[in-house]
Amino acid sequence: MKTIDDLDVAGKRVLVRADLNVPLDGTRITDDGRIRASVPTLKALLERGAKVIVTAHLGRPKGVDPEADAKYSLAPVAVRLAELLGKPVAFATDTVGASAQATVAALQDGEIALLENVRFNPAETSKDAVERGKFADELAKFGDLFVSDGFGAVHRRHASVYDVAEDLPNAAGYLIATELGVLKKLTEDVQRPYVVVLGGSKVSDKLGVIDNLLDKADRILIGGGMVFTFLKAQGHEVGKSLLQEDQIPVVLEYLERAKAKGVEFVLPVDVIGSTEFPDLKTKAPSSPVTSPVDAIPADVLGLDIGPESRKLFAAKLADAATIFWNGPMGVFEHPDFADGTRAVAQALVDSSAFSVVGGGDSAAAVRILGFDENAFGHISTGGGASLEYLEGKSLPGLAALEN
Known catalytic residues are 34, 202, 360, 384
Site string for ligand ADP, 372-391 (x = CB under 6 A): -----------x--------
Amino acid at 277: F
- 3, 99, 201, 346: residue in contact with ligand ADP (rule CB under 6 A): 201
Residues between 283 and 322 with contacts to ligand ADP, criterion CB under 6 A = 302-303
Q: Least distance (Å) from Mg ion to the CB of residue 178?
A: 21
Q: Least distance (Å) from ligand ADP to the CB of residue 358?
A: 7
Size of the residue set binding Mg ion (CB under 5 A):
2
Residue 327: name its binding partner from ligand ADP, Mg ion, none (Cβ under 5 to 8 Å by kind): ligand ADP
**Residue 118 backbone zone (phi > 0: left; psi -120 to 50: alpha; other: beta):** alpha
- 152, 239, 360, 397: residue in contact with ligand ADP (rule CB under 6 A): 360
Residue 396: name its binding partner from Mg ion, ligand ADP, none (Cβ under 5 to 8 Å by kind): none
Q: How many CB atoms lie within 10 A of CB 218?
A: 18
Tell me how far apart the alpha carbons of residues 48 and 325 are, in angstroms, rounded to a whole number.
Answer: 36
Tell me how far apart the alpha carbons of residues 310 and 274 are, in angstroms, rounded to a whole number.
Answer: 18
Tell me how far apart the alpha carbons of residues 142 and 52 are, in angstroms, rounded to a whole number.
Answer: 10
The answer to the question of residue 330 lying near ligand ADP (CB under 6 A) is yes
Pick the closer one to ligand ADP by CB: 55 or 355.
Answer: 355
Tell me how far apart the alpha carbons of residues 396 and 403 are, in angstroms, rounded to a whole number.
Answer: 14
Residue ranges of the alpha helices (H) in 174-247?
Answer: 174-185, 203-213, 227-233
Which helix (H) or strand (E) segment holds residue 290: the answer is strand 289-292
- 163, 179, 205, 218: residue in contact with ligand ADP (rule CB under 6 A): 205
Pick the closer one to ligand ADP by CB: 114 or 344.
Answer: 344
Q: Least distance (Å) from Mg ion to the CB of residue 362?
A: 8
Residue 239: name its binding partner from ligand ADP, Mg ion, none (Cβ under 5 to 8 Å by kind): none
Pick the closer one to ligand ADP by CB: 146 or 313.
Answer: 313
Residue 173: name its binding partner from Mg ion, ligand ADP, none (Cβ under 5 to 8 Å by kind): none
Residue 63: name its binding partner from ligand ADP, Mg ion, none (Cβ under 5 to 8 Å by kind): none
**Alpha carbon separation from 64 to 144, 159, 251 (Å, rounded):** 30, 17, 40
The helix/strand/coil state of 292 is: strand
Considering only 101-109, 172-180, 229-237, 355-363, which stretch makes contact with ligand ADP by CB under 6 A?
Answer: 355-363
Q: How many CB atoms lie within 10 A of CB 279?
A: 11
- Buried b / exposed e along 156-171 (16+ C-beta atoms within 10 A): bbbbbbbbbbebbebb
The helix/strand/coil state of 50 is: coil
Site string for ligand ADP, 139-178 (x = CB under 6 A): ----------------------------------------
The helix/strand/coil state of 1 is: coil
Q: Which residues contact 261 (CB under 8 A, 6 or more apart)?
A: 214, 215
Pick the closer one to ligand ADP by CB: 103 or 247.
Answer: 247
The helix/strand/coil state of 87 is: coil
- 95, 229, 286, 326: residue in contact with ligand ADP (rule CB under 6 A): 326
Which helix (H) or strand (E) segment holds residue 265: the answer is strand 264-266
390 phi and psi, to 5 degrees? Answer: -70, -25
The helix/strand/coil state of 121 is: coil
Q: Least distance (Å) from ligand ADP to the CB of residue 159?
A: 24
Site string for Mg ion, 349-378 (x = CB under 5 A): -----------xx-----------------
Residue 331: name its binding partner from Mg ion, ligand ADP, none (Cβ under 5 to 8 Å by kind): ligand ADP
Pick the closer one to ligand ADP by CB: 319 or 333.
Answer: 333
Q: Is 250 exposed, middle or buried (0-12, 13-18, 19+ CB in 10 A)?
A: middle
Amino acid at 128: D
Which residues of this protein are in contact with Mg ion, per CB under 5 A? 360-361
Site residues (vs ligand ADP, CB under 6 A): 199-201, 205, 224-225, 242, 302-303, 326-328, 330-331, 333, 359-362, 383
